[in-house]
């Protein structure tokens, strides 16, 4: 099957959607499909062979964050050329309502379109105002996927209709084994965080308050933080007596990210909202890290209601500190949570998730010899 994947966000900026599109593309290629991805990216960017750049993105506030999107004549022309050259059996767009390439591709493509909704947000005034314009593109979508119940609710509110629930995937083998970073976790214990330091909904400020509470009583406990943002601003929020125990790595490579998960005694996901799945949780689970996460609906589902990781009341630094302390003081509990997480994450391995996505592709292919041949090849 010839599959065109459309990523709305800049390829060179770390993000859950970009990682999802990358891993899906590679899993589909592994299954024997021909895959091409178009994404906002500079022409001179270092890209995988299967990615086509659609030009430089611009930063736009979107869904409680700042997304790097591409929308304009240059992007539209590149999408048209890519679609013409690709001769795709099916087009798979991600975040179709975002003002970026996915929306353009829906307008341009005349064949079967599958859309995946990742985000969980409320019905916004901007989307309401743009609804007449969006409708002409979105009504062409013939297959819909949501990565979570929260994303499904967003799709129903914004676009109407329903969707197949297929969660985010994780390449488990990529995370299972890695050497810890040199000197980590250490005898005094280590807490880990991975995410944008300057994005409030990632909850780093909650974790810093919790570390202040628990750190004073544990003089050798350290906090390891990985992700883009202003390091000086983060350190300024930490009491002077604790600053030498907070280590900031900044944006890290994929290989170092895996090492981070293996370098801590407790991994924390203190997010305060706007999460529809929690790919960072799935990655930490694949690495076997004991997890403490906020009790967002999406996180609760991924962690099996608390069986595969501790949950705390979102935004409550005192409760987070208490949960971290319980895990640090109870190695058998950490081992039990690690084993439960490793078992639960099997449901999210890309080898399974990609096959579920292909079933959606098969469902939207037109009847007739061409469609039947593609479906037969996909099932082989």
Annotate 84-105 with DSSP letters as a single string: HHH--SEEEEESTTSTTHHHHH
| pLDDT on residue 379 | 44
Structure tokens at 343: 């078992």
pLDDT tens for each residue of 116-169: 988 766 455 445 545 566 677 778 999 999 988 878 887 777 666 788 999 999
Report in angstroms the alpha-carbon separations of 338 from 74, 133, 139, 189, 347: 48, 47, 44, 16, 15
> Which of 52-56, 216-220, 336-340 is predicted most confidently?
336-340
Structure tokens at 113: 């379109």
Same domain, 329 and 369: no
| pLDDT on residue 370 | 45
Same domain, 136 and 157: yes
Domain count along the chain: 2
| pLDDT on residue 159 | 66
- Of 163, 175, 171, 96, the residue nearest 353 (C-alpha): 171
**Predicted TM-score of the model (pTM):** 0.80
Same domain, 94 and 179: no
Same domain, 275 and 353: no
Mean pLDDT (whole number) for 80-88: 97
Angle formed by the axes of helices 331-344 and 317-328, to 10°? 100
Which is it for strands 190-194 and 164-165: parallel, antiparallel or unpaired? unpaired
pLDDT tens for each residue of 226-283: 999 999 999 999 999 999 999 999 999 999 999 999 999 999 999 998 776 778 999 9
Rounded-to-integer distance, Cα 53 and Cα 51, Å: 7
Same domain, 134 and 257: no
- Of 358, 318, 365, the residue nearest 28 (C-alpha): 358
Rounded-to-integer distance, Cα 219 and Cα 234, Å: 20
Report in angstroms the alpha-carbon separations of 288 from 151, 216, 338, 367: 26, 28, 5, 45
pLDDT tens for each residue of 28-82: 999 999 999 999 988 888 999 999 999 887 766 655 565 667 778 888 999 999 9
Same domain, 117 and 7: yes
Same domain, 270 and 122: no
How much is the mean pLDDT over the chain?
89
Same domain, 207 and 331: yes
DSSP annotation of 122 reads -
Same domain, 253 and 135: no
Mean pLDDT (whole number) for 190-197: 95
3-state secondary structure of 221: coil
Domain span at residue 265 reads: 172-347
CATH of the domain at 274: 3.40.50.2000
Same domain, 117 and 149: yes
Q: What are phi and psi of 265, to 5 degrees?
A: -85, -30
Structure tokens at 198: 């300057």
Residue in the block written with tokens 């379109």? 113
Same domain, 314 and 362: no
Residue of 378 and 1 predicted with greater confidence: 1
Rounded-to-integer distance, Cα 229 and Cα 246, Å: 15
Mean pLDDT (whole number) for 289-314: 95
Same domain, 153 and 179: no
| pLDDT on residue 138 | 78
């Amino acid at each position: 099957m010839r599959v065109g994947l459309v990523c709305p966000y800049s390829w060179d900026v770390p993000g859950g959607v970009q990682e999802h599109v990358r891993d899906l593309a590679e899993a589909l290629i592994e299954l024997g499909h021909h895959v091409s991805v178009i994404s906002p990216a500079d022409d001179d960017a270092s890209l995988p062979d299967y990615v086509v750049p659609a030009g430089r993105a611009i930063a736009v506030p979107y869904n409680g964050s700042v997304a790097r999107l591409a929308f304009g004549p240059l992007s539209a022309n590149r999408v048209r050329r890519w679609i013409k050259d690709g001769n795709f059996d099916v087009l798979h767009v991600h975040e179709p309502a975002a003002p970026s390439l996915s929306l353009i591709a829906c307008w341009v493509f005349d064949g079967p379109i599958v859309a995946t909704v990742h985000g969980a947000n409320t019905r916004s005034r901007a989307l309401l105002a743009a609804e007449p314009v969006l409708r002409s593109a979105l009504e062409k979508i013939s297959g819909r996927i949501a990565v979570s119940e929260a994303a499904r609710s967003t799709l129903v509110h914004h676009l109407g209709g329903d969707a197949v629930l297929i969660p985010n995937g994780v390449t488990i083998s990529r995370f299972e084994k890695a050497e810890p970073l040199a000197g980590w976790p250490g005898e005094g214990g280590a807490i880990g965080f991975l995410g944008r330091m300057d994005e409030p909904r990632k909850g780093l400020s909650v974790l810093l308050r919790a570390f202040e509470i628990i750190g004073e009583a544990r003089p050798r406990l350290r906090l390891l933080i990985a992700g883009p943002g202003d390091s000086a601003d983060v350190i300024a929020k930490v009491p002077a007596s604790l600053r030498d125990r907070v280590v900031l790595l900044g944006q890290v490579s994929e290989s170092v990210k895996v090492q981070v998960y293996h370098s801590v005694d407790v991994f924390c996901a203190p997010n305060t909202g706007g999460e529809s799945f929690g790919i960072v949780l799935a990655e930490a689970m694949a690495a076997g890290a004991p997890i403490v996460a906020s009790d967002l609906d999406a996180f609760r589902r991924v962690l099996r209601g608390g069986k595969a990781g501790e949950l705390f009341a979102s935004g409550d630094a005192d409760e987070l500190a208490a949960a971290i302390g319980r895990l640090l003081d109870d190695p058998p509990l950490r081992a039990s949570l690690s084993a439960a997480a490793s078992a639960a994450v099997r449901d999210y391995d890309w080898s399974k998730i990609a096959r579920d996505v292909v079933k959606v592709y098969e469902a939207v292919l037109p009847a007739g010899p061409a469609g039947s041949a593609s479906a037969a090849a996909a099932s082989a």
